[in-house]
Amino acid sequence: MSFIAERMDRIDSSGIRKIFALAASLKDPINLSIGQPDYDVDEAVKEVAIQQIRAGFNKYTQTGGIAELCEESSAYYQRRFGTPLENVMITSGTSGGLFLALLATINPGDEVIFADPYFVMYKHLVNLLGGKCAMVDTYPHFKLTAEAIERVITPKSKMLIVNSPSNPTGVTMTKDELKELAAVAVKHNLLVISDDIYDQFHYDDAPGSMAGLCENVIVLNGFSKTAAMTGWRVGFAAGPKEILDKMNTLQQYTFVCAPSFAQKAAVTALKLDTTDKLNAYRRKRDLIYNGLVELGFNVTKPGGAFYIFPEAPGSDGDAFVKKAIENNLLIIPGSVFSEKKSNLRISFAATDETIQRGLEVLRRLRG
């Protein structure tokens, strides 16, 4: 008899983590794989955390987080998108919020709609809970459209996940495009998850969110990307009270609460001016995009996040990434994020020097 639960057969270990493991065995790898900023947490945010630790704010908070951060999260959405958030709770990162949202809403057999390519957790968490992934093929433009969603709707369709800017493609949705998705969700009575973790990495068009576009929306966001607080594990969720109450209940028995001192520091993080970071990453985006175009890659220009998703030579991302790793370049095969293996993901959350070194390896590999 196996002691392992059958549900574990529905998921595989993260392909990204496998790449991280490889990185540990390489000497001075050119790392364009990791999904975290190349800068550190702001000094002002660090100082608040240090002060709170020294002041003794180190115990459990309320399950749903401190009121100050809940209120500031709502105010942030009012400032950025013109709509305040209701029923805010603080989560253990955006990934923790995603897990709670799915756990609170998805029954076995429920269909969850999202774009292919996708953030890896969508597929595996839905499968873990016995749900069914209804993936929308968005190649080659990577835009999730209302028309494409309509084609996968069935009587069992329950949820639509929208991620803009997107991991792994960096593609963004305009406000009008998001409104079209909201109309489809209303028409078919779909619950929407708006995964907004990259909302400040928006380089060209005006930023948008599904928040406020329809009634049944769970908004997820956090501090791992813009604020670089990846190891601090703080995020926030908001949405219909009935669902958020259940997510709070689940948090009592899973994460308990987000780290106390980090919640205090996150209040400051929401108020910081991120213009310089945005400009720097827009420049990095242009550097990697123009470099790939010059090398002859078929590639869509990302409008946000810090990823680019070019087609691999020969449309075999697995084989190409294997060669790249053999040449000390760490990138991720597109098959980690997709049912297809034609592409590869490159993160430009790196120094300009690292990006240039990566492009040089890609130049050699293309011959």
Q: What is the pTM of this model?
A: 0.94
Q: pLDDT tens digits, the chain, 367 residues: what are they?
A: 788 888 888 887 656 666 666 666 778 899 999 889 999 999 999 999 999 999 999 999 999 999 999 999 999 999 999 999 999 999 999 999 999 999 999 999 999 999 999 999 999 999 999 999 999 999 999 999 999 999 999 999 999 999 999 999 999 999 999 999 999 999 999 999 999 999 999 999 888 999 999 999 999 999 999 999 999 999 999 999 999 999 999 999 999 999 999 999 999 999 999 999 999 999 999 999 999 999 999 999 999 999 999 999 999 999 999 999 999 999 999 999 999 999 999 999 999 999 999 999 999 998 6
| Contact (Cβ atoms closer than 8 angstroms) between residue 189 and residue 141 | no
Per-residue pLDDT, 15 = 60
How many CB atoms within 10 Å of residue 357?
18
Per-residue pLDDT, 28 = 84
The sign of the torsion formed by the CA atoms of 199, 200, 206, 211 equals positive
- Name the residue among 165, 112, 118 with its Cα closest to residue 138: 118
Helices (H) and strands (E) in the chain, counts: 12, 12
Per-residue pLDDT, 14 = 58
Reduced to 3 states (helix: H, G, I; strand: E, B; else coil), residue 347 is strand
Maximum C-alpha span of the chain: 59
Beta strands in 111-261, from DSSP E residues, in sequence order: 111-116, 132-137, 157-163, 191-195, 217-222, 235-238
- pLDDT tens by residue, 329-366: 999 999 999 999 999 999 999 999 999 999 999 999 98
Rounded to whole angstroms, how far apart are CA atoms 213 and 209? 8
| Contact (Cβ atoms closer than 8 angstroms) between residue 346 and residue 354 | no
Per-residue pLDDT, 161 = 98
Per-residue pLDDT, 337 = 96
- Name the residue among 352, 33, 79, 347 with its Cα closest to residue 201: 347
Cis peptide before 140 (omega within 30 of 0): yes
- pLDDT tens by residue, 251-307: 999 999 999 999 999 999 999 999 999 999 999 999 999 999 999 999 999 999 999
Task: Please report the domains of the chain, with CATH numbers, ordered by start residue.
Answer: 6-41+274-366 (3.90.1150.10), 59-269 (3.40.640.10)
Per-residue pLDDT, 59 = 96
Rounded to whole angstroms, how far apart are CA atoms 134 and 87? 28
- Name the residue among 7, 235, 216, 9 with its Cα closest to residue 129: 7
Rounded to whole angstroms, how far apart are CA atoms 39 and 216? 36
Bridge partners of 311, per DSSP, are 343
